[in-house]
Structure 1
């Protein structure tokens, strides 16, 4: 496989790999390192890529596993989460601050979820993967993925309702 062929295969999902790594590792620097490490591994095994039906799902599985290994070897407990994907024009400063606080709170709630639910909600609600792709990445049956996603969403919804009703975070 030539370099140009390799790039045509892997570049379309580069950002998704980074976002999953960032969701799991929290740190932008750690996520960049994980993304670079993943693409290095893919390059070293470029000859085998044609054997996979879905290279993107394979790469996402590799990313998930690599990130879990990193978290086991070095806990990143004191890193902060910063959201940079949300942009809106023509809103007041007060509304922007309010939106950023809400987004930050949802991210904190997602970070408190069990790892499996955190990965599934990232892949489904943020990366917009379909259930078949998620099943391959997390190596679970569709019913189990749907249940885990439902529980994750329910947990987040309940926490948001609790905060809204009581004004406590």
Structure 2
């Protein structure tokens, strides 16, 4: 397997590996190290990669196991949990239920949007693509994307506000 073939296989999911490592290890530096270690292990076993049904799933499992091992090891004693906004406050059960309910409502509202607006919301607000990339994907001008995004956000905001203010009708 050449380096180009390896990169073609690994590039689509390397950011997901990093995000999982960051969630488990908290520290950005530790997550970068974990990602690098997983990719090195994949490179060392590049001959076996073709034998895996799902390389992405295998990599995520490797990442999870590596992070758990890292947390269990003596090195974990020296890890710093870096939270700039950390306070020892538990979110109340009522607040958790309200947040979960709000997220469910937002999902339902997005599902009710026209397909184009739904796609634009997904690509811009969830996947964080810029307007030019979305324009290429959907064959639209950035101005039209901004208009559709603004309308979608307005619809979501209005329906969510109505739900919270007046209840379900």
Give the match for residue 36 of structure 1.
Answer: none
Name the counterpart of 1:97. Answer: 97
Q: CA deviation at 1:5?
A: 2.3
Indicate which of 11, 19, 32 corresponds to 2:13.
11
Deviation digits for residues 117-142 of structure 1 (CA, Å, limit 9, x no counterpart): 00100111111111111111111111
TM-score, structure 2 length as denominator? 0.51
Query: Aligned pair 1:135/2:135, yes or no?
Result: yes
**Residue deviations 1:141-160 (CA, integer Å, cap 9, x gap):** 11110111011011111111
Pairwise CA distance, 1:13: 6.2
Q: For residues 65-80 of structure 1, what are the structure 2 equivalents within 5 Å?
A: none
Is 1:144 the equivalent of 2:144?
yes
Q: Residues 13 and 104 (structure 1 numbering): CA distance in 2 closer, same or farther, change over 3 Å?
A: same
What TM-score, normalized to structure 1? Answer: 0.51
Measured on the aligned residues, the alpha-carbon RMSD in Å equals 2.2
Closer/same/farther in 2, CA of residues 135 and 106 from structure 1, 3 Å limit: same
3-state DSSP class of the match of 1:113?
A: coil
Residues 82-121 of structure 1: pairs in structure 2 closer than 5 A: 90-121=90-121
Deviation digits for residues 59-101 of structure 1 (CA, Å, limit 9, x no counterpart): xxxxxxxxxxxxxxxxxxxxxxxxxxxxxx8212221111100
Q: Which runs of 5+ in 2 are unaligned?
A: 18-88
Higher alpha-carbon deviation: 126-135 or 104-113: 126-135
1:151 is paired with a residue whose SS is helix
Output the CA distance in 1 between the equivalents of 2:99 and 2:164.
14
Q: 1:14 to 1:3 in 2, by over 3 A?
A: farther
Structure 1 unaligned spans of 5+: 16-88
SS across alignment from 1:140: coil
Distance 1:147 1:112, change over 3 A: same
